[in-house]
Structure 1
Protein backbone atom coordinates (compact mmCIF):
# COMPACT_ATOMS: atom_id res chain seq x y z
CA UNK A 1 0.00 0.00 0.00
CA UNK A 2 1.23 3.47 -0.87
CA UNK A 3 -0.56 6.49 0.52
CA UNK A 4 0.79 9.58 -1.23
CA UNK A 5 -0.95 11.81 1.31
CA UNK A 6 1.33 10.49 4.05
CA UNK A 7 4.39 9.60 1.94
CA UNK A 8 6.41 12.60 3.17
CA UNK A 9 5.87 11.47 6.77
CA UNK A 10 7.47 8.05 6.07
CA UNK A 11 11.08 7.64 7.12
CA UNK A 12 13.54 7.74 4.22
CA UNK A 13 14.14 4.00 4.17
CA UNK A 14 10.39 3.38 3.87
CA UNK A 15 10.01 6.01 1.13
CA UNK A 16 12.82 4.37 -0.86
CA UNK A 17 11.30 0.91 -0.38
CA UNK A 18 7.84 2.12 -1.43
CA UNK A 19 9.23 3.51 -4.68
CA UNK A 20 10.98 0.19 -5.35
CA UNK A 21 7.64 -1.57 -4.76
CA UNK A 22 5.87 0.75 -7.21
CA UNK A 23 8.43 -0.06 -9.91
CA UNK A 24 8.18 -3.80 -9.30
CA UNK A 25 4.38 -3.86 -9.18
CA UNK A 26 4.01 -1.76 -12.33
CA UNK A 27 6.53 -3.84 -14.27
CA UNK A 28 4.87 -7.09 -13.13
CA UNK A 29 1.45 -5.63 -14.04
CA UNK A 30 0.26 -6.08 -10.45
CA UNK A 31 -0.80 -2.44 -10.25
CA UNK A 32 -3.53 -1.41 -10.44
CA UNK A 33 -5.03 -4.46 -8.79
CA UNK A 34 -6.99 -6.73 -11.10
CA UNK A 35 -9.96 -6.61 -8.71
CA UNK A 36 -9.99 -2.81 -9.10
CA UNK A 37 -9.87 -2.92 -12.90
CA UNK A 38 -12.84 -5.30 -13.02
CA UNK A 39 -15.03 -2.43 -11.89
CA UNK A 40 -12.99 0.44 -13.33
CA UNK A 41 -12.12 -0.77 -16.84
CA UNK A 42 -10.52 2.56 -17.75
CA UNK A 43 -8.03 2.19 -14.87
CA UNK A 44 -5.95 -0.37 -16.78
CA UNK A 45 -2.56 1.07 -17.63
CA UNK A 46 -1.17 1.13 -21.14
CA UNK A 47 2.47 0.29 -21.77
CA UNK A 48 3.16 4.00 -22.21
CA UNK A 49 1.53 4.81 -18.87
CA UNK A 50 3.53 2.04 -17.20
CA UNK A 51 6.72 3.53 -18.62
CA UNK A 52 5.79 6.99 -17.32
CA UNK A 53 4.96 5.69 -13.85
CA UNK A 54 8.12 3.58 -13.70
CA UNK A 55 10.23 6.52 -14.89
CA UNK A 56 8.66 8.79 -12.29
CA UNK A 57 9.38 6.29 -9.51
CA UNK A 58 12.95 5.80 -10.73
CA UNK A 59 13.38 9.59 -10.76
CA UNK A 60 12.24 9.80 -7.13
CA UNK A 61 14.75 7.09 -6.19
CA UNK A 62 17.59 8.84 -8.06
CA UNK A 63 16.81 12.13 -6.34
CA UNK A 64 16.81 10.37 -2.98
CA UNK A 65 20.10 8.60 -3.77
CA UNK A 66 21.78 11.89 -4.62
CA UNK A 67 20.77 13.44 -1.33
CA UNK A 68 20.75 10.31 0.84
CA UNK A 69 22.90 7.43 -0.51
CA UNK A 70 21.18 4.10 0.12
CA UNK A 71 24.00 2.89 2.39
CA UNK A 72 23.24 5.83 4.68
CA UNK A 73 19.73 4.44 5.14
CA UNK A 74 20.93 1.08 6.49
CA UNK A 75 20.20 0.57 10.16
CA UNK A 76 23.29 0.46 12.28
CA UNK A 77 23.53 -2.59 14.53
Structure 2
Protein backbone atom coordinates (compact mmCIF):
# COMPACT_ATOMS: atom_id res chain seq x y z
CA UNK A 1 0.00 0.00 0.00
CA UNK A 2 1.36 3.39 -0.92
CA UNK A 3 2.24 5.98 1.69
CA UNK A 4 -0.65 8.18 0.54
CA UNK A 5 -3.17 5.39 1.16
CA UNK A 6 -1.62 4.60 4.55
CA UNK A 7 -2.13 8.22 5.59
CA UNK A 8 -5.36 9.16 3.81
CA UNK A 9 -7.45 6.10 4.72
CA UNK A 10 -7.01 6.50 8.51
CA UNK A 11 -7.62 10.25 8.20
CA UNK A 12 -10.80 9.61 6.24
CA UNK A 13 -11.93 7.04 8.82
CA UNK A 14 -11.31 9.51 11.67
CA UNK A 15 -13.15 12.25 9.78
CA UNK A 16 -16.16 9.97 9.29
CA UNK A 17 -16.13 8.82 12.94
CA UNK A 18 -16.00 12.32 14.40
CA UNK A 19 -19.18 13.20 12.52
CA UNK A 20 -21.07 11.11 15.09
CA UNK A 21 -19.84 13.25 18.00
CA UNK A 22 -22.13 16.27 17.89
CA UNK A 23 -22.24 19.01 20.53
CA UNK A 24 -25.60 20.10 21.93
CA UNK A 25 -27.26 22.92 20.04
CA UNK A 26 -27.94 26.28 21.68
CA UNK A 27 -31.64 26.48 20.83
CA UNK A 28 -34.50 27.77 22.91
CA UNK A 29 -38.08 28.00 21.72
CA UNK A 30 -39.07 30.83 24.05
CA UNK A 31 -37.90 34.29 24.99
CA UNK A 32 -37.07 34.28 28.68
CA UNK A 33 -38.42 36.92 31.05
CA UNK A 34 -34.77 37.84 31.74
CA UNK A 35 -34.11 38.65 28.08
CA UNK A 36 -32.81 42.19 27.57
CA UNK A 37 -35.79 42.95 25.31
CA UNK A 38 -38.17 42.07 28.15
CA UNK A 39 -36.56 44.32 30.77
CA UNK A 40 -35.46 47.32 28.68
CA UNK A 41 -36.94 49.25 25.82
CA UNK A 42 -35.04 48.05 22.77
CA UNK A 43 -36.20 49.85 19.60
CA UNK A 44 -37.01 47.55 16.69
CA UNK A 45 -34.08 48.75 14.56
CA UNK A 46 -31.63 48.14 17.43
CA UNK A 47 -33.18 44.76 18.17
CA UNK A 48 -32.85 43.68 14.52
CA UNK A 49 -29.19 44.75 14.43
CA UNK A 50 -28.46 42.93 17.71
CA UNK A 51 -30.18 39.77 16.49
CA UNK A 52 -28.29 39.83 13.18
CA UNK A 53 -24.88 40.58 14.62
CA UNK A 54 -24.87 39.37 18.24
CA UNK A 55 -27.57 36.91 19.26
CA UNK A 56 -26.08 33.77 17.66
CA UNK A 57 -23.21 33.82 20.16
CA UNK A 58 -24.68 35.97 22.92
CA UNK A 59 -28.12 34.46 23.58
CA UNK A 60 -29.78 31.13 24.26
CA UNK A 61 -30.98 30.80 20.68
CA UNK A 62 -28.47 30.31 17.90
CA UNK A 63 -29.45 30.13 14.25
CA UNK A 64 -27.27 27.34 12.87
CA UNK A 65 -25.94 27.37 9.30
CA UNK A 66 -25.58 24.19 7.22
CA UNK A 67 -21.91 23.67 8.09
CA UNK A 68 -22.66 23.53 11.81
CA UNK A 69 -23.48 19.82 11.43
CA UNK A 70 -19.99 18.96 10.22
CA UNK A 71 -17.06 18.31 12.50
CA UNK A 72 -14.82 19.96 13.45
CA UNK A 73 -16.86 23.11 12.61
CA UNK A 74 -19.61 22.18 15.08
CA UNK A 75 -17.08 21.93 17.91
CA UNK A 76 -15.53 25.25 16.95
CA UNK A 77 -18.94 26.93 16.84
CA UNK A 78 -20.00 25.37 20.16
CA UNK A 79 -16.84 26.74 21.75
CA UNK A 80 -17.43 30.23 20.29
CA UNK A 81 -21.02 30.20 21.56
CA UNK A 82 -20.00 28.95 25.02
CA UNK A 83 -17.37 31.70 25.32
CA UNK A 84 -19.69 34.35 23.90
CA UNK A 85 -22.47 33.50 26.35
CA UNK A 86 -19.97 33.50 29.23
CA UNK A 87 -19.07 37.09 28.35
CA UNK A 88 -22.58 38.35 27.60
CA UNK A 89 -25.91 36.59 27.38
CA UNK A 90 -28.79 38.76 26.20
CA UNK A 91 -31.26 36.00 27.17
CA UNK A 92 -30.14 36.14 30.80
CA UNK A 93 -29.32 39.86 31.02
CA UNK A 94 -31.96 40.41 33.70
CA UNK A 95 -30.11 38.02 36.03
CA UNK A 96 -27.06 40.30 36.09
CA UNK A 97 -26.62 42.80 38.91
CA UNK A 98 -27.26 46.43 38.01
CA UNK A 99 -23.53 47.09 38.19
CA UNK A 100 -22.79 44.23 35.77
CA UNK A 101 -25.57 45.36 33.41
CA UNK A 102 -24.04 48.85 33.26
CA UNK A 103 -20.62 47.33 32.64
CA UNK A 104 -21.95 45.08 29.86
CA UNK A 105 -23.81 47.95 28.17
CA UNK A 106 -20.65 50.07 28.26
CA UNK A 107 -18.66 47.13 26.89
CA UNK A 108 -21.18 46.62 24.05
CA UNK A 109 -20.75 50.24 23.01
CA UNK A 110 -16.96 50.26 23.25
CA UNK A 111 -16.43 46.92 21.47
CA UNK A 112 -18.70 47.88 18.59
CA UNK A 113 -17.08 51.31 18.41
CA UNK A 114 -13.59 49.75 18.38
CA UNK A 115 -14.57 47.17 15.73
CA UNK A 116 -13.91 44.24 18.09
CA UNK A 117 -17.47 42.95 17.73
CA UNK A 118 -18.90 41.25 15.83
CA UNK A 119 -15.90 39.03 15.16
CA UNK A 120 -14.53 39.28 11.64
CA UNK A 121 -14.62 35.47 11.32
CA UNK A 122 -18.36 35.59 12.08
CA UNK A 123 -19.00 38.41 9.60
CA UNK A 124 -17.18 36.43 6.92
CA UNK A 125 -19.90 33.78 6.98
CA UNK A 126 -22.83 36.03 8.04
CA UNK A 127 -23.02 39.06 5.78
CA UNK A 128 -26.03 40.53 7.62
CA UNK A 129 -23.86 40.74 10.78
CA UNK A 130 -21.65 43.33 9.10
CA UNK A 131 -23.03 46.43 10.80
CA UNK A 132 -23.28 49.67 8.87
CA UNK A 133 -22.08 52.94 10.39
CA UNK A 134 -25.69 53.86 11.15
CA UNK A 135 -26.41 50.50 12.80
CA UNK A 136 -23.27 50.81 14.92
CA UNK A 137 -24.29 54.31 15.99
CA UNK A 138 -27.83 53.09 16.83
CA UNK A 139 -26.55 50.29 19.05
CA UNK A 140 -23.89 52.45 20.71
CA UNK A 141 -26.35 55.27 21.44
CA UNK A 142 -28.98 52.86 22.74
CA UNK A 143 -26.48 51.00 24.96
CA UNK A 144 -25.10 54.22 26.46
CA UNK A 145 -28.56 55.72 26.98
CA UNK A 146 -29.72 52.51 28.68
CA UNK A 147 -26.56 52.45 30.84
CA UNK A 148 -27.10 56.09 31.81
CA UNK A 149 -30.71 55.39 32.76
CA UNK A 150 -29.45 52.67 35.13
CA UNK A 151 -26.99 55.12 36.69
CA UNK A 152 -29.81 57.59 37.30
CA UNK A 153 -31.81 55.03 39.32
Query: Within 1, Cα distance between the matches of 2:130 and 2:120?
Result: 9
Gapped regions of structure 2 (runs ≥ 5)? 1-86
How many correspondences in the alignment? 67
Query: Within 2, Cα distance between the matches of 1:14 and 1:59?
Result: 16
Query: Within 2, Cα distance between the matches of 1:35 and 1:22?
Result: 18
Choose which of 121, 136, 143 in structure 2 pairs with 1:50: 136
Per-residue deviation, residues 23-55 of structure 1 (Å, max 9, x unmatched): 110100111111110111221000000000001
Choose which of 108, 118, 121 in structure 2 pairs with 1:35: 121
The reply to whether residue 63 of structure 1 matches residue 145 of structure 2 is: no
The reply to whether residue 19 of structure 1 matches residue 111 of structure 2 is: no
CA RMSD of aligned residues (A): 0.9
Query: Within 1, Cα distance between the matches of 2:129 and 2:106?
Result: 21
The reply to whether residue 6 of structure 1 matches residue 99 of structure 2 is: no
Taking structure 1 as the reference length, the TM-score comes to 0.81
> Which structure would you say has the larger Rg?
2
Taking structure 2 as the reference length, the TM-score comes to 0.42
